Amino acid sequence: MKDSNFLKEMNARSVWHPMAHPADSQQNPPTIVTGAQGVRITDVDGHEVVDGVGGLWNVNLGFSCEPVKAAIAAQLDRLPYYSIFRGTTNDCVIELAEELRDFFAPDGLSRAFYTSGGSDSVETALRLARQYHKVKGEPGRIKYLSLKKGYHGTHTGGASVNGNANFRTQYEPLLPGCYHIPAPYTYRNPFNETDPEKLAQLCLQALEDEIAFQGAGTIAAMIMEPVLGAGGVIPPHESFMPGVREICSKHGILLIADEVITAFGRTGSWTGSRHWGVQPDLMCTAKAITNGYFPFGAVMISDAVAEVFEKDESGRAAIGHGYTYSGHPVGAAAALACLAETKRLNVKDNAAARGAELHEGLKSLQADLDLIGDVRGGHGLMCAMELVSDRATKAPIDKARINQVQEVAYQSGAMVRVSGPNIILSPPLVLTSDDAQVILSALRAGFDSL
Ligand code: PMP
C-alpha cells in the first residue's frame, strides 16, 4: 500500500468528497481507512478504533459478516448481473421479495420495488405516491409534505422534501409543491415547548393546518423518518407518528416512512414504524439491507397501494421508473444473507440494550459538562449530543471545538460523527457493552482536551 502522506496528497488533488467543501481535504485531510474487523476500523497509519458511526448507519452486523461476504462472492461467480426490467428477472430477487414480505408483514407491506440505495428509494416512493393517485383518478394530488430537519437523500425529489437548508440552498430551485412541517424537536422549536407530548400535538396541529391551507386534494404524500436521523437523532414523542398516520388516512394522503436508517433493527424494533405502532403505505429501505457491503435498497409497498396498481385497467399503472441496478442479483444475494443473519443474531434486542447504555453514558457526560446542551436517543443504537457554547442561550459551539472533540476521541479509540453542532453515534448493532464503554471514554477524553 502507498504511504499515508502520499495518499493524503493524491486524495487532496483528485477526490471530491460528498458533504464537504472541495478545499477541505487539503486543509483537513480525511482519515484514510484501510481495513476493518468486527466493529473496529483501521487507518493507513495502523491506528485501530471502534466505529461509532457504523460505516454510515449501515454496517449493522459489523465488518466481518462472513455469510454476507460469502453470498456476494458466490453470486458473483454464478450470475454477476442481470436486469429485472420488463421481460427478465433473476432468481435472487424473487427469493428476497418473499423474505422481505415475511419480514415486513407486521408493517402491512408486501411488495418490493428494488433500488440501488437510499436516495433512489426516496425518489421511487415519491414517484409511486403521485402515480398511485393518478391511477386512482385523483391526478391533482401532486404535493408532498415532510418535516423540517428531515433528511431524505440528495436526488432532486429527496432534496426538495429535505428539511435542512444545507442540502437545499445551493441546488435551488427544487421541486415545486413541497411543504415542511415543524419537527417535534424538543430542544429547539418555534413554539418554545419543552414538553415532548405537548410539542407533538402542536406539530400535528401544524400538519393539519398546512393540509387545510394547501387543500387535502392537492397532496400526494407525507414523508417522514420515524426517528429523525441525520438531522441530529430526534426521536418524537410516541404519540407523534401515530398522529401523523391518523391525519394522513383521514385526508387520503399516503404516508411514506423513510426507514433508510431505521429499518432492520436500529431503533431496537425491526422497523421504526413498528416501534411506534404505525403501518405506513410505503417504506424506503437501503443501507443495512446489505450491511453496507453492496449498494442496494427496496421500497416496500402496502397491500392497499399495491392493489390499486395491480387492478388498474387504464394503463396508468405501468411503471415508467427503475434503475439499471434495480434488483441487482449480487445485492439481492447479499440482502438475503444479511436478513438471515440479522434475524439469527436478533440484533434489534442488542441495539435496544446497548443503545440504552450509550444513552445513559451520554447523560452522565452531560451532567459533568456544560458544553453538552442536549442528549438524544433512548430508541436503540442511534444517539446524539448537541453541543453549545452557552447552555442558557443555547448558542451553538464553534466548529473548531467540536472538531477537536472528534479528533481527540478518535485518537482515544472511537470514530464518532460530527454533523453541524451534533455528535452522532450509530455504531454496528453487534456492539458489546465493552465497545460502548470505549466510545464513551473516548468521548470523555475528547471533552477533557478542551
Ligand atoms: N433517507 C434517509 C433517512 C437517510 O438517512 C439517507 C442517508 N443517510 C438517505 C435517505 C439517502 O440514502 P443514500 O445516501 O443511500 O442515497
pLDDT at site 78: 98
Number of C-beta neighbours around residue 196 at 10 A? 17
Q: Which three cell numbers stand for residue 48?
A: 485501530
User: Quick check: 62 pLDDT over 90?
Assistant: yes
Residue bearing the CA closest to ligand 1, atom 13: 118
- Report pLDDT for 339: 98
31-61+347-448 has which CATH code? 3.90.1150.10
Q: Calculate mean pLDDT across residues 286-315.
A: 98
The two beta strands, 282-285 and 297-302, are antiparallel
* CB contact at 8 A, 384 and 375: yes
- Dump the DSSP string for 199-253: HHHHHHHHHHHHHHHH-GGGEEEEEE-SSB-TTT-BPPPTTHHHHHHHHHHHHT-
CA of 152 to the centre of ligand 1 (A): 6
ipTM of the shown complex: 0.99
Mean pLDDT of 423-441: 98
Q: How far is the CA of 121 from the centre of ligand 1 (A)?
A: 9
Say what the pLDDT of residue 25 is.
82
The residue extents of the domains of the chain are 31-61+347-448, 67-344
**Which residue minimizes the CA distance to atom 7 of ligand 1?**
153
Nearest-CA residue for atom 1 of ligand 1: 152
Q: Give the distance (Å) from ligand 1 centre to CA of residue 158.
A: 9
Which helix H or strand E contains 120, and what residues bound it? helix 118-136
pLDDT score at 138:
98
Residue 1 has pLDDT above 80, yes or no: no
pLDDT score for 28: 87
Ligand 1 lining (C-beta closer than 6 Å) = 117-119, 122, 151-153, 225, 229-230, 258, 260-261, 286
Ligand 1 centroid–CA 284 distance in Å is 9
Would the pTM count as exceeding 0.90? yes
Q: Rounded mean pLDDT of the chain?
A: 97
Residue-wise pLDDT tens digits, 123-161: 999 999 999 999 999 999 999 999 999 999 999 999 999
Q: Of all atoms in ligand 1, which is nearest to the CA of residue 286? A: 15
CA of 376 to the centre of ligand 1 (A): 20
Q: What is the CA(225)–ligand 1 centre distance, in A?
A: 10
Q: Confirm or reject CATH 3.40.640.10 for domain 67-344, answering yes or no.
A: yes
For ligand 1, what atom is nearest to the CA of residue 122?
Answer: 10
Distance (Å) from CA 260 to ligand 1 centroid? 6
Which atom belonging to ligand 1 lies closest to the Cα atom of 58? Answer: 8
Would you place residue 26 in the very low, low, confident or very high pLDDT band (cuts 50, 70, 90)? confident
Q: Provide the 8-state DSSP code for 167.
A: G
Choose the residue to mutate in 151, 225, 299 for probing ligand 1, maximizing ligand atoms within 8 Å of C-beta.
151
Torsion 172-176-178-182 (CA) sign: positive
Side chain identity, residue 170 = Q
Residue 43 pLDDT grade (very low, low, confident, very high; cuts 50, 70, 90) = very high
Lowest-confidence pick of 23-27, 122-126, 440-444: 23-27
- The predicted-structure confidence for 64-97, as pLDDT tens digits, reads as follows 999 999 999 999 999 999 999 989 999 999 999 9
CB 223 within 8 A of CB 128: no
Percent of the chain with pLDDT over 90: 97
